[in-house]
Amino acid sequence: MAVNRGSVHAPVADVLGVLADASAYPRWVVGPREAIAVDPGWPDAGTGFQHETGRGPFKVRDRTEIVRFDRDRGEVVLEAHSGPLGVALVKITVDEQGERTVVTLEEDALSGPMRLLPKPVRDVAIHARNRRAMRRLREMVETGTRAP
């Protein structure tokens, strides 16, 4: 799995608050542009949200589902469907480190064209995209900004 790690100057509860808000995902995850519909019960396991990826005639509706959301352990596991690109497994852990929270984002392709790439190449591509996502997540948490 590609691994990105960073610190957020905020409590674990604030980070988990953003992760528990399905409408916030398109603001920090690179790819989805808009959360269209959220299942009742989100973020319970098995629930998800529909989102739109792409622009103009190249828009694709996809779904991200919660595999596990464990506030006590500071762990979120998602299955992210990305249309023709396939499905990815995403694990986010948050750990308190003094006044900061360390966020670890791990991701790997489960299916689709990305899965066909050699793992080192796949990890570099995912890591580069998630570096931007981690920066966006940190900014959202530290500024208290959520979905528009």
Q: Percentage of the chain surpassing pLDDT 70?
A: 98
**Domain coverage including residue 112:** 2-143
Please tell me the pTM assigned to this model.
0.92
Pairing assessment for the beta strands 32-38 and 48-53 based on DSSP bridges: antiparallel
Please indicate, yes or no, if residue 148 is contained in any of the structural domains: no
Q: Is residue 89 part of a domain?
A: yes
- Is there a domain that residue 69 lies in? yes
- CATH number for the domain harbouring residue 80: 3.30.530.20
Cβ(100)–Cβ(128) below 8 Å:
no
Q: Tell whether the model's pLDDT for residue 148 goes beyond 60.
A: no
Q: Is the pLDDT of residue 146 over 70?
A: no
| Sign of the four-CA dihedral 113, 34, 50, 65 | positive
Q: How many domains does one find in the chain?
A: 1
Residue 135 lies in a domain: yes
Which two tokens mark 107? 């991701």
b/e per residue, 30-65, with b = 16+ CB within 10 A?
Answer: ebbebbeebbeebbeeebbbbbbbeeeeeeeebbbb
**pLDDT (tens digit per residue) in 54-90:** 777 877 888 999 999 999 999 999 999 987 888 999 9
